Structure 1
Amino acid sequence: MIKEQGLSVQHVSQTMDIGPTAIRRWLEQYGAEQNGQPGIGKPLTPEQQRIRQLEQENRQLKGDVEIFKKSIGLLCPRIEMSYQLVQQLQKEATSVTQCCRVLSVSRSGYYEAQRRSAKPVLCKASVHLKAAFTASHQSYGSRRLVTAMKNQGIEIGRYKVRSLMRKASLKPVGKRKFIHTTDSKHDLPVAANVLNRQFNPVAPNMAYVSDITYIRTGAGWLYLAIVLDLYARRVVGWAMAPSMPAKLVCDALNMAIQQRRPAPGLIVHSDRGSQYASELYQDLLDEHGFVCSMSRKGNCWDNAVAERFFLNLKMERVWQRQYANHTEARNDVADYIVSFYNCERLNSALGNLPPTVYERKMAVQEPIVVSGIT
C-alpha cells in the first residue's frame, strides 16, 4: 500500500509515530500473504486461508473477463453481435441483466433491437394471417387461425393472432336472425328421438342427421336438404329444389346411400317436418332397413349438428353472395360443400381437422370395416 501510494517508510514512520522496523515487517508480511504464503507473523486460520484463496480466484476471474471483453470488442465490432450473444445466453438460463453487464451493453438497447428484429416476422405472420382468414371465407376466429397458421409452418400464439386481427380489422362474419322453416303441424306419424343427442358415434355410417334450409336468389327461394354423417361431420348427401316436397329429402338421402352404402341399422335423424314424416320418405328408410329418429317437438337442439352446418354455410358463403338465379346458387353451394367444408374447413369437434382428413386419419389409426368404408 505504501509503495502503491509513493510513500517512503521513513515518511510513514514520522507521520504515524510508528517505528520503521515494524512498518518494514508489516510490508514483508503483506507481500508474503499476497504470494499465497502465511507470512512471518501469526499463521493464517483455515477461514483466513479460504478468504485469501477466494480473493485470488476473484482477481483471476476479473482478468479473464477483461480478456473476454477485449476479444469481443476486437472480433465483434458491431453491437448487434453482442445482442445476438445475449439472446443465445438466455437459452442457457442466464439473465439479460447479467449478460448485458458482462458485455457492457444496455438492456434498453437490447430490447429495442429485439423489437426491431421482430417487425419483419410479424409482418410475414400478418400476411399469412390475412390469407388464412380470407381462405376461410372470413369465418375463422383466433383459435382456428392459430391452427391454420401452424399448418403453414408458422408458430404463433392465440393472443398474438388476436392482436394482429385487431390491427388488420379482421372480424368474422356475424350471425343473422334465424327463420323457422320446419312445418310440424301435420297429422302424419312421427318417430321417437332414438338418437337422443348422441352426436359422437364410434364409426362411420352409424348415425346420420338431415335437415332443410332456404337460400335467397334473384329468381326466388332455393331449398337445400342435406344428410350429414355424425362420425366425421361430413356432408354425404344433398339436394336442392325451388320447393320443399318430400322428394327433396329423399333425393338427399339417396345420394348419401349411393356414396356410402350404409348397412341396415343406420340411424337417420331429422326434425318433425312433413317431408320427413311423409310416406315416401318413410318407405325409403324401411327399404334399406334404416332406423328413423326425430327431434322432440319445438326442440332444435336435438338436431344441433345439422343446424350448425346451415349456420356455417350461410355465414361463410351464402350471406356473402347475391345469387342471380337458382343455377348460380346450386353451383356455389355445391362448391362450398365439396371443396371447402368437407375437405378444407377446420372443425373444432374433430380436433381442428377437416372431415375427409379426419376420416383418413382415423382409418389409419384404427382400421374399421364398415359397409362402403374401409
Structure 2
Amino acid sequence: MDAEKANFEITRMARLLGVTRQGYYAWQRRRQHGPGSRAQRRTVIDRKTVAASMRRQGLEGISPSMFTPVTTIQDPAARGFADHAQRRWDQGRLDAIWISDITYLRTGEGWLYLAAVRDGHSRRVLGWAMDECQDAGLVDRALRMARTLRRDVPDDLVFHADRGTQYTSKTLFETCEELGIRQSMGRTGVCWDNAMAESFWATLKTEFYDRRSWPTRAEARREVARWIEIVFNRRRLHSSLDYTSPVAFENAIDRDQAETEEHTDQAQAA
C-alpha cells in the first residue's frame, strides 16, 4: 500500500486487501517514529518486573520441585524380566498394561513413600499404598488393591515398572504369579521406559503436593488418598481422554460395551 499510495487511494487498497485504513496509518506512524511507550516497556521487562506484577495481581506460578531422590536401586541378584510394554502404555483397551512406581513425599515427620498402580489406557489410579518404608510390601498392597478393584483381569495383563529392588523381589514375583499378572520392566536408569509413571508423579507434586507443607504423615496420607481418588480419578480432565476424567472414560467404555452386547442379543433373538 505504501509503495502504491501515489497511484491508488488508500481507502480502495485497504478494501481490496481486506485491511483497515487505521491499521495502515498506525503502521506508518510506527515506521516513522518507532515503537510506542507500551511496546518499549515490553522490550525491557525482566523477571523481577514480571514477579512484581504477579504479586500485585495475586498470581502464583506452579513449577515442579527440583529435588528428585533416586528410588530405583537394582538388586544384582534379581531375576531378569523382559520389557513387554516397549513404551506403548496405551494398548487401546483397559487392563492391557498397568504401570507402577514409587515416589518420596516429604512431611514434617520424615519421608512418606507412595506406590501407585495405573491403567495405561484410562490413566486411572487403580491402587495405591503409603508407608514409612519403601519395601516390596508397599508395592504388594498397591497391586492387590488394583486387582481387587478390577476383579477379573485378562490372562495377558502386563504389570510394568522399573528395576527397583521392590519390583524385582521374590515377594512381588510370587504375588504376580498368584494374581495371574505378567511382570515387565524397562532398562535400568532409562526414565523413558517408565515415563507414564513419572508423569503422574509430576502431576501429583506440581498441582497438589508441593503447593503446601505437610506436618504429619497421617495428614499427608489422608489428603493424598483423597486427591488421587476424588480429584485425579474423577475430576481432572485429561487431553488424552478427550478431556474427560479417567472414571468417566471407563464408564463410557462400559456403556458402549453394554449397548453392543444388547444389540447382539437382540439380533440373535430375531
- Asked if TM exceeds 0.5, the reply is yes
- CA deviation after TM superposition for structure 1 residue 338, in Å: 0.8
Tell me by how many angstroms 1:367 deviates. 4.7
Task: Establish whether residue 312 from structure 1 lines up as the match of residue 203 from structure 2.
Answer: yes
Q: Distance in 2 between matches of 1:368 and 1:293?
A: 34
- 2:259 and 2:125 map into 1 onto residues whose CA distance is 20
Unaligned runs of 5+ in 1: 1-94, 98-106, 108-164, 370-374
- Is the Cα–Cα contact under 8 Å of residues 183 and 274 in structure 1 kept in the other structure? yes
- Output one character per residue of 1:163-182: Cα deviation in whole Å (capped at 9) or x when no partner: xx999564541022233211
Q: Distance in 2 between matches of 1:243 and 1:322?
A: 21
> Is residue 2:239 matched to residue 1:342?
no
Aligned-pair identity (%): 38
TM (norm. structure 1) is: 0.52
AA of the residue aligned to 1:315: T
Q: How does 1:122-133 map to 2 (within 5 A)?
A: none
| One-letter code aligned to 2:62 | V
SS of aligned partner of 2:166: helix
Establish whether residue 324 from structure 1 lines up as the match of residue 237 from structure 2.
no
Matching residue within 114, 129, 132 for 1:242? 132
Amino acid paired to 2:236: R
Tell me what 1:183 maps to.
73
Q: Aligned in 2, Cα 1:290/1:368: closer, same or farther, shift over 3 Å?
A: farther
Match of 1:364 among 248, 251, 255: 255
Offset at residue 201 of structure 1 (A): 1.8
RMSD over equivalenced CA pairs, Å: 2.4
1:220 aligns with 2:105: no
Distance 1:166 1:200, change over 3 A: farther
Aligned partners of 1:315, 1:268: CA distance in 2, in Å? 26
Which whole-Å CA distance do the structure 2 matches of 1:167 and 1:207 have between them? 47
Distance 2:128 2:259 in 1: 25
Q: Letter of the aligned partner of 2:106 in structure 1?
A: R
Q: 1:233 to 1:166 in 2, by over 3 A?
A: farther
**Aligned counterparts of 2:192 and 2:89: Cα–Cα separation in 1:** 11
Is contact 1:190–1:272 with CA below 8 Å preserved after alignment?
A: no
Q: What is the total number of aligned residue pairs between the two structures?
A: 208
Structure 1 stretches of 4+ with a deviation exceeding 4 A read 165-172, 366-369
Give me the whole-angstrom Cα distance separating, in 1, the residues matched to 2:243 and 2:122: 11
Query: Of the candidates 120, 139, 156, which is equivalent to residue 230 of structure 1?
Result: 120
Higher relative contact order (CA closer than 8 Å, sequence separation 6+)? 2
TM-score by length of 2: 0.71
What is residue 274 of structure 1 aligned with on the other side?
A: 165
Which of the pair is proportionally richer in helix? 1
Q: Evaluate the alpha carbon distance shift between residue 206 and residue 220 of structure 1 in structure 2; reply closer, same or farther with a 3 A threshold.
A: same
Which whole-Å deviations, capped at 9, do the CAs of 1:55-86 have from their partners, x for residues lacking one?
A: xxxxxxxxxxxxxxxxxxxxxxxxxxxxxxxx
Offset of residue 362 of structure 1: 2.9
- Match of 2:175, SS? helix
**1:278 maps to amino acid:** S
Structure 1 CA distance, aligned partners of 2:189 and 2:114?
21
Distance 1:205 1:172, change over 3 A: farther
Q: Structure 2: which amino acid aligns with 1:193?
A: D
Q: Which runs of 5+ in 2 are unaligned?
A: 1-17, 23-53, 261-270
Amino acid at match of 2:217: H
Could you tell me which residue of structure 2 aligns to residue 211 of structure 1?
101
**Residue by residue, what CA displacement relative to the aligned partner does 1:178-206 show, whole Å, maximum 9, x if unpaired?**
33211125321131111111121222111
Q: Does 1:253 align with 2:130?
A: no
Residue of structure 2 equivalent to 1:142: none
| Contact in 1 for aligned 2:69/2:104 (Cα 8 Å) | no
* CA deviation after TM superposition for structure 1 residue 343, in Å: 0.4
Please report how far the alpha carbon of residue 366 of structure 1 lies from its aligned counterpart in structure 2 after TM superposition. 4.7
Report the Cα offset of residue 363 of structure 1: 2.9
Cα deviation for residue 265 of structure 1 reads 1.9
* Matching of residues 130-141 of structure 1 within 5 Å: none
* Counterpart for residue 244 of structure 2: 353
Q: Is the 8 A contact 1:264 1:288 kept in 2?
A: no
Instruction: Quote the Cα distance in structure 2 between the aligned partners of 1:172 and 1:368.
Output: 45
Distance 1:207 1:368, change over 3 A: farther
Aligned counterparts, 1:41-190, within 5 A: 168=57, 170=59, 172-177=61-66, 178-190=68-80
